[in-house]
Amino acid sequence: MSLNELAFKLNAHLTDEGTSFDAVLSEEGVLEVICSNNEEFPINIVKTETQLLAITPLFSVAEVQVDKLNELNEELLFISPAIPLSSVGRQGETYILFGAMALNTAFENIVHELEVQAENTVDVLQVVEPLLV
């Protein structure tokens, strides 16, 4: 399924939990998905030769209290195994939440993963909020 087809299907879909999606494909080939269960943090989906990567930017290094950077990194390593279907990482100066799916992942599973990633974003930010500026 192409990212354009995925966007079309997501925009027409409502989950059993009542989550809807607003998906827009950029000219750069990145599918930006906003889940109604977390509209503040879009999920960016890119397609590689082997997988779909779902990436949610969380915050920048500059938003971390200077004396709390090591504590933040330790906390993220500690909570990462408890975050279903997602991992925490850093790209350049931005902390991210990400997940990966096979190209042949069923649409229903993609929807589930996006819904969970949106929820995980809120959970991670609640844990690290005291360490941010």
Tens-digit pLDDT profile for residues 44-95: 999 999 999 999 999 999 999 999 999 999 999 999 999 999 999 999 999 9
Residue extents of the structural domains in the chain = 3-131
> Would you list the DSSP string of 27-77?
TTS-EEEEETTEEEEEEEEEE-SSEEEEEEEEEEGGGB-GGGHHHHHHHHH
Residue 41: what pLDDT?
97
User: pLDDT digit string (tens) for 1-57?
Assistant: 999 999 999 999 999 999 999 999 999 999 999 999 999 999 999 999 999 999 999
Q: Find out if CATH 3.40.50.620 is the number for domain 3-131.
A: no
DSSP letter (8 states) at residue 80: G
Q: Which residue shows structure tokens 């991670």?
A: 124
For residues 104-126, average pLDDT: 97
**pLDDT confidence tier of residue 133, bands split at 50, 70 and 90:** very high
Rg (CA), the chain: 15
pTM for the full model?
0.94
